[in-house]
Amino acid sequence: MGLARALLLKGSESRWLADQASRRRFVRRATTRFMPGESMDDALGAARSLGARGITSILTLLGENVDDPEAAAAVTDEFLALLARSADSDLDADISVKPTHLGLELGFDVAARNLQALATGATEHGRFVAVDMESTRDCEATLDLYRVLRAEYENVGICLQSYLYRTDADLEELLGHAPMIRLVKGAYKEPANLAYPKKSDVDASYLRHSGTLLEAARDGRARVAFGTHDADMIAEINRRAADMSCPRRSYEFQMLYGIQRDLQVHLAESGYRMRVLISYGAYWFPWYMRRLAERPANVGFVLRSMLRG
Ligand SMILES: Cc1cc2nc3c(=O)[nH]c(=O)nc-3n(C[C@H](O)[C@H](O)[C@H](O)COP(=O)(O)OP(=O)(O)OC[C@H]3O[C@@H](n4cnc5c(N)ncnc54)[C@H](O)[C@@H]3O)c2cc1C
């Protein structure tokens, strides 16, 4: 892992830095590259603009590591309101949630109850709930949450991270549950005994997992989304899909708001399913630092915002 990436990921865990950054106007301004704003209206407005270009959305309220039951309940209520508002606005918008935002640290049952409420709400509106994958500390519990939920609901998905050694086995096991899987490379700081430290190994792993998922998508054994901005990887996935007669619309690409905008539009216009994850809320610091770590050159945006005063 590069030094800049390691430092940015370490910084993402600092409460002191989070507090300092949220007081600095230039940092808040720099975040607008990756999020349309802090309010639900900002997120819905962005979803509407993307929809006009044939791009669907996933909406999320930023936050993680909630350790107060009332706060976890309030987060659940906010997501329920979000589902209702996006359905009222006729938007094709799913939601994405982090288990620790819904109270996983308070206990498995707390997170499971809140997730069940969201899956029920999403069912009423014909939407999906995607469960994010956080750090390895919560991986096992997150997979268990997904299994419990999947036994009861059709409209739930899970994220798998290709940088983890364990993902080959997890993917194999999950395919037995007719899952909805979002494949990502992985965004957290993980030790070398759990995750590939070298980017080339992560990319090779991502390609291997995407091959398995494409076969599952073609055979109707899974709903599949590739969460990546990697243009070469996307081209290779599309080449392989064509080779194995996997139809374009049997899988989906997902990207983060504001990243690779031209590629998002190009894929949608070329007939691929393109969904963009739009984040909003006041708790943006750790999430934003992970975005900087993915591409340390992004730190330039923060510096330029600082110089603009
Ligand atoms: C929809 C979605 C959901 C996600 N959910 C999770 C999750 O639940 N758990 C998790 O651990 N991770 C999640 N991630 C993040 C993911 O793990 C990666 O950290 C992130 O996508 C960067 O990897 P990459 O595949 O885009 O390619 P990389 O190999 O990192 O980058 C390839 C190219 O993409 C562009 N790029 C990538 N990131 C950025 C950026 N931040 N800013 C500007 N350009 C960039 C650059 O051109 C770069 O050269 C999610 C990502 C997406 C798109």
pLDDT for the residue numbered 84: 96
Run of H or E residues at 84: helix 69-88
- Kindly give the distance from the C-alpha atom of residue 162 to the centroid of ligand 1, in angstroms, as a whole number: 12
More confident of the two residues 168 and 8: 168
Rounded (to 5) percent helix, strand, coil in the chain: 55, 15, 30
Burial of 280 per CB tally in 10 Å (0-12, 13-18, 19+):
buried
pLDDT for the residue numbered 285: 74
More confident of the two residues 282 and 86: 86
Query: What does the alpha-carbon distance between residue 184 and residue 256 come to, in Å, rounded to a whole number?
Result: 12
pTM of the predicted protein model: 0.91
Residue holding tokens 């992560």? Answer: 202
- In CATH, the number for domain 36-283 is 3.20.20.220
More confident of the two residues 33 and 304: 33
Query: What does the alpha-carbon distance between residue 233 and residue 214 come to, in Å, rounded to a whole number?
Result: 13
Per the annotation, the verdict on 67 as an active-site residue is: no
Query: What does the alpha-carbon distance between residue 255 and residue 175 come to, in Å, rounded to a whole number?
Result: 23
Q: Which atom of ligand 1 is nearest to the CA of 225?
A: 1
Residue ranges per structural domain of the chain: 36-283
Tokens of 23: 């007081």
Neighbours of 299 (CB within 10 A): 14
Residue of 127, 138, 170, 182 marked active site: 182
- Kindly give the distance from the C-alpha atom of residue 115 to the centroid of ligand 1, in angstroms, as a whole number: 25
pLDDT (tens digit per residue) in 216-266? 999 999 999 999 999 999 999 999 999 999 999 999 999 999 999 999 999
Run of H or E residues at 279: strand 273-280
What integer is the mean pLDDT of 123-152?
Answer: 97
Provide the percentage of residues in the chain whose pLDDT is more than 90.
Answer: 77
Residue of 94, 127, 132, 203 marked active site: 132
More confident of the two residues 281 and 59: 59
Ligand 1 cavity residues, CB under 6 Å: 132-133, 159, 161, 184-188, 227-230, 254-256, 259-260, 277, 291, 294-295, 298
Per the annotation, the verdict on 132 as an active-site residue is: yes
What integer is the mean pLDDT of 142-163?
Answer: 97
Q: Write the DSSP assignment of 110-148 as a string of letters.
A: HHHHHHHHHHHHHHHTT--EEEP---GGGHHHHHHHHHH
pLDDT (tens digit per residue) in 87-135? 999 999 999 999 999 999 999 999 999 999 999 999 999 999 999 999 9
